[in-house]
Amino acid sequence: MFDQSIITKLQQISGKDQVLTDKADLICYSYDATQKQYLPDVVVHPGSAEEISQIMKLASENKIPVFPRGAGTGFTGGSVPTAGGIVLGLTRLDKILDIDEENLVATIEPGVVTAEFQKTVEKVGLFYPPDPASLKVSTMGGNVAECAGGPRCVKYGVTKDYIIGLEIVTPTGDVIKTGGPTMKGVVGYDLTKLICGSEGTLAIITEIVVKLLPKPEAKKTMLVLFDSIDGAAQAVSAIIRGKIIPTTLEFLDARTLDCIRQATDLDVPAAARAVLLIEVDGDREFLDKQVAKVSSIVQPLGVVETRVADTPEQSEALWQMRRSISASLRQVNPDKFNEDICVPRSKVPDMIRKIESISDHYQIPIVNYGHAGDGNIHVNIMVDEKTPGDHEKAEKAVFEVFQGALELGGTMSGEHGVGIMKAPFLDMELKANTIDYMKTIKRALDPNNILNPGKIFPSDV
């Protein structure tokens, strides 16, 4: 039974309205995109770093686990309250505090929704590139905690590359500033980058200093259909070696195309066994030349068809194929295991072949698409949880997919993080002494292990 006096103290800190204990309310904060469900004891929505500091001190003194939460869109359980305790909802801290147009730096609170932030800076001609699929819902705090990616990262880098300063609250309630608004800074350890991607296990993020870019003048989209995944992968390498770094270099594999053919009436020629969706951005007058150069680079590599958009509407039509994937997959099978391995770019075809053989072995559909420019593959293992044996087969397939990625010099996760979903597999990727090194940091910075416990590490730190 959760101590009523803690509830009372939380109410004193953040106000009665901001403390939820009704089961109906708690359920809303019990899951994320993994659909794993754990009920918290209480949900608090603090209104300031100072309140969060008080809450962390209270939690620390009473050794109560605290689970920070943005919009709960994560794919690895990073925000689910696996040990009860307090869910710390950060959505009230949703202000864009400053946009410094002169220095291309914004200061924001963690609850700002990613897409809202992007729109706001674009209104003044600026640009925040990272674009995780969840961006219309996800919050910047969550994006920072997980180091979110997205299609544009091949050219522009991931969330971490844009975060130059933070205000954080430590597990013991200290409010600490890291980094700052300058483009360079080497005074002391880079705590900013340590917190980015630490999945809410080291600190609560209460303020974010973001580096922005000038918004590119224009973009141009093309879709190239290939007769093999090897051709598409060679095209990726050839484009980059041709000194063009496209904004996006998305690929769809043969089995994804089969699903789309089955589920939609989009025009996918039978000869097409892989697709690259390529977008370039920059100066308007230069884009046509870039598109022409990309076309001529890829042409010898088994191109079935090249489609180039001349208008935003045509661009949207080309994106349709990429956007239709999720709905198409659902028609194949209702449930999916969604992984996001990353391999060296040139190894994508080898990885796809490994996955195809895993799929064949277990007789479950696995379709792959993702960010070819980064080697970041979204592996979708399609199952019907109501079919006996499907779940177990998928679990074995996941294990073999990870194994395959690691054999190719890759990683289990390019974007989603570890959370609770990949924690059991952590020692497949990291040697025991690397895990120990990370745990040493966790123990030093969260001595009571109250902040998002049970995440990343497979056993207690």
Which range in 155-163, 258-266, 300-308, 327-335 contacts its own copies by CB under 8 A?
155-163
Which range in 319-327, 383-391, 393-401, 421-429 contacts its own copies by CB under 8 A?
421-429
* 355 belongs to the binding site for its own copies (CB under 8 A): no
Q: Which of 16, 177, 353, 361 binds its own copies (CB under 8 A)?
A: 177
* 83 belongs to the binding site for its own copies (CB under 8 A): no
Which range in 15-23, 134-142, 262-270, 370-378 contacts its own copies by CB under 8 A?
370-378
Asked whether the CA dihedral 61, 449, 85, 133 is positive or negative, the reply is positive
* 414 belongs to the binding site for its own copies (CB under 8 A): yes
Q: Which of 1, 17, 35, 241 binds its own copies (CB under 8 A)?
A: 241
* 288 belongs to the binding site for its own copies (CB under 8 A): no
Which range in 22-30, 353-361, 380-388, 408-416 contacts its own copies by CB under 8 A?
408-416
If we measure between CA atoms, which residue out of 410, 445, 455 comes closest to residue 194?
445
Residues between 18 and 57 that touch its own copies (CB under 8 A): none
* DSSP-assigned letter for residue 460: -
Residues between 289 and 328 that touch its own copies (CB under 8 A): 289
Structure tokens at 18: 């901001």
Residues that contact its own copies, how many (by CB under 8 A): 92
Neighbouring CB atoms inside 10 A of 458's CB total 14
Residues 6+ apart with CB under 8 A from 338: 75, 378, 379, 380, 381
Q: Which pairing describes strands 105-108 and 204-211: parallel, antiparallel, or unpaired?
A: antiparallel
Structure tokens at 458: 């497979």
Buried b (16+ CB within 10 A) or exposed e, 384-411: eeeeeebeebbeebbebbbebbbebebb
* 170 belongs to the binding site for its own copies (CB under 8 A): yes
Distance CA 427, CA 119 (A): 40
Which range in 298-306, 349-357, 358-366, 409-417 contacts its own copies by CB under 8 A?
409-417
* 219 belongs to the binding site for its own copies (CB under 8 A): no
Q: Which of 132, 415, 452, 453 binds its own copies (CB under 8 A)?
A: 415
